[in-house]
Structure 1
């Protein structure tokens, strides 16, 4: 018996059943059919979610999408986008910072500066320091204490820093950049600053939070001055709420000495 004959026979039996069954029986079977159909679709959806999870490790379909990497710019009117396109994958920027040695003495540092990043960076420099000449930054920022420690080590080792075209250096990342004895932002690099804030899950009293913020602000201000950065940079940061970014223009990067003349590095600046 072929498939067509079997299908025709099934259709005839179904027709006979529907004509002979009472309304109550029909309603019960209709309800049971809905339940079975719902279960089938649940299984299909679950399989699709599992497939997505395997294709993208760490993806949790039950969690809301993460906030964008870049907050909007601080403006008098509506928030604006970054001044240049960022070519880096947002998911990469949100991951813990990764270090990779590239040709030409370049150490790539890409991702968020999580607590403990400074120790990992120090280990990388310890292992590969003789080859590293420049730290290539692409980061949305993160832990200020770790950014400070990374910046100080960069100056101690007399390394340069650079932000490539299409890359991002925001929040605490410019603190890292400031440590370079030479500092370069290629055309199309996006650099932005804002206020420091307590990103930890530890709940602090308003008094303790204020005290910590003031102490950290003093530490950063002192370090930037020692690195040869003009005060205007940090003033813009302190004036900008943590959910906004003040994007620096190329002219401001030069005026604040965040970028240096390649022919005149700042190696003779204070290094303590």
Structure 2
């Protein structure tokens, strides 16, 4: 059968078909199109997930200092952190400084929360403030550390030219009073699932939504404005949204500038 003959027959069939048949044909055609696009989207998401580095499930990407996305395009960070990338990439360590300040420096590796809890238990009432200098890491551990800080009634601080990025601001949010010194570098971005067992596209999406709900609920319980995590959700994991002092105050991530006296929730 020639192409012209086939075309003539299809045209005749289309013209003589009833409306119901045409509606059903259009409906199933749309379903086929939708299925094709969904398949492509899920395949691309699976490929993107497979390309991510193997870390603990539900972590944040942890380049020590990715480009900013504050104005929608990559930029340099507002201030260069004082600590070297080598120091920041190491698993987080804790050091008790004079004045009851416990310095927490390094990446939030899986198990960091347990070590932090042991440190707090050992130091007892000596610890008053947790000073953070971290590029982020395990979200689960960051949430646990934040909750323990609030339960113990401790303050949090990010010193001048210290870094608190990715999941680190979740820890910072746990402080009863929260101070970011001038030139503190604080930034947020998306979380993602990147376990050693590569999740399917559906599992990755479900895990990200579940973790986002946990983070949102936690920040609400800590008294932090919802707009903070909206910036995180809008920023890819290979970028950071660096918060300005005004934004930190607006979202109640920080209490009064230079605050010394402790505030109630």
Compute the displacement of 1:118 (Å): 0.3
- Tell me, yes or no, if structure 1 residue 129 matches structure 2 residue 124: yes
| Runs of 5+ unmatched residues, structure 2 | 1-61
Quick one: higher RCO (CA 8 Å, sep 6+), 1 or 2?
A: 2
CA RMSD in angstroms, aligned pairs only: 1.5
Q: 2:184 aligns to what?
A: 189
Cα distance in structure 1, aligned partners of 2:155 and 2:85: 25
Structure 1 residues 1-272: aligned runs within 5 Å: 68-74=63-69, 78-261=73-256, 262=259, 265-267=262-264, 269=265
Cα distance in structure 2, aligned partners of 1:259 and 1:75: 19
TM-score by length of 2: 0.73
Q: What's the CA shift string for 1:213-242, capped at 9, x where partnerless?
A: 111110110010010100110100011111
CA contact (8 A) 1:147 1:173 kept: yes
CA contact (8 A) 2:107 2:135 kept: yes
CA contact (8 A) 2:70 2:242 kept: no
SS in 2 for 1:209: helix
SS in 1 for 2:224: coil
Aligned residue pair count: 202
CA contact (8 A) 1:228 1:266 kept: no
TM-score by length of 1: 0.72
CA contact (8 A) 1:133 1:159 kept: yes
| Runs of 5+ unmatched residues, structure 1 | 1-66
Compute the displacement of 1:174 (Å): 0.2
SS in 1 for 2:192: coil
